[in-house]
Amino acid sequence: MLGFRPKLPVTDEERQWVNDGFNRLCRLLGRDRMLNAEVVLPADEYFPDQYDGTEAALERLFQRICGYTQEVYGYALAKFASERREDRPEWAKHLTTNVRAYYKRSRAWLLNSSDRNAAATGG
């Protein structure tokens, strides 16, 4: 680049802190999940409702955000159960309907993913 080296807008310590955080998140959620996750952006595609500053508009926004996080929450719980080698954890029956559905779907994906990884590595 014409002999210029770009300078990061953060200190080396801040960069390391961010990198460490992403590495922890990667260990928790799994590399595939991190690389293939859909990013929810502040765009009409994800937030189509009009926001006019009223309490009703804020409630719609809050409900939409909660809907997006239920899938992540379900996956995190499935990963937690998987790490603990719990096939049918007792606590799963207490999850709300949507989170339980995401948990079950994520659990199946994790089991299928680990089967593929074992087959690929001969384990």
Domain that holds residue 68: 30-121
Give pLDDT, residue 119. 45
With respect to residue 77, please indicate whether it lies within any of the assigned structural domains. Answer: yes
For residue 89, how many C-alpha atoms fall within 13 Å in the half-sphere facing its CB? 18
pLDDT tens digits along 20-51: 988 888 887 778 878 888 888 999 999 999 98
Q: Considering its fold, how many domains does the chain have in total? A: 1
The answer to the question of residue 73 being in a domain is: yes
Q: What is the pLDDT of residues 67-100, one digit of tens each?
A: 888 887 888 888 888 888 888 899 888 888 888 8
Check pLDDT > 60 for residue 115.
Answer: no
Which residues are within 8 A (CB) of 107 and not within 5 positions of it... i.e. 6 or more apart?
A: 78, 81, 82
Question: Amino acid identity, residue 75?
Answer: Y
Would you say residue 69 lies in a domain? yes
Residue 47: inside a domain, yes or no? yes
Domain membership of residue 37 (yes or no) is yes
Do the domain assignments include residue 10? no
Domain assignment present for residue 106? The answer is: yes
Q: Is residue 99 part of a domain?
A: yes
Q: Which of 14-18, 20-24, 110-114 has the lowest mean pLDDT?
A: 110-114
- Which comes out higher in pLDDT, residue 68 or 18? 18
Check residue 120 and give its pLDDT: 46
Contact 34, 24 (CB under 8 A): no
